[in-house]
């Protein structure tokens, strides 16, 4: 069954005490290359039926109204998880749009995901 992935992050301008605590632990372990950590949420929603635009639109509204609180969080991404390559490697995840490192990558990922959907 298709899976929709929703990613939510605390607003960048707000303090993220959870991320700060993790970053503090990394610093204590001597992992000095990693100076900042922010912790967000990833929801994986199983869809009954076809992976169509209607389900994605429905998931988008759920993401904005229930899965996140716009006062404190932003919805980063709502997309179908790729059936193949899902989580198998970073490159595959970028291709299927599972990693939201930056906008460029997201755009590339969406394009790949679209072509994949058509092939299904």
Tell me which residues touch another protein (CB under 8 A). Answer: 10, 14-15, 17-18, 20-21, 66-67, 69, 71-73
8 Å CB contact between 47 and 2: yes
Residue 98 Cα distances to 14, 37, 62, 79, 86, angstroms: 24, 19, 19, 8, 8
Nearest-approach distance from CB 72 to another protein, in angstroms: 4
Closer residue to another protein (CB): 13 or 118: 13
Nearest-approach distance from CB 73 to another protein, in angstroms: 8
Nearest-approach distance from CB 78 to another protein, in angstroms: 16
Closer residue to another protein (CB): 18 or 61: 18
Report which DSSP code applies to 118: H
Report which DSSP code applies to 42: E
């Amino acid at each position: 069954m298709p899976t929709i992935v929703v990613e939510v992050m605390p607003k960048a301008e707000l303090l993220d005490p959870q991320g700060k605590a993790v970053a503090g632990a990394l610093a204590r372990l001597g992992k000095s290359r990693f100076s900042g950590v922010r912790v967000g949420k990833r929801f994986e929603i199983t869809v009954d039926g076809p992976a169509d635009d209607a389900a994605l639109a429905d998931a988008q509204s759920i993401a904005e109204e229930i899965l996140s609180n716009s006062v404190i969080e932003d919805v980063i991404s709502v997309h179908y998880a790729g059936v193949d390559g899902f989580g198998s490697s970073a490159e595959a995840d970028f291709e299927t749009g599972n990693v939201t490192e930056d906008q460029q990558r997201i755009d590339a990922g969406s394009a790949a995901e679209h072509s994949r959907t058509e092939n299904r």
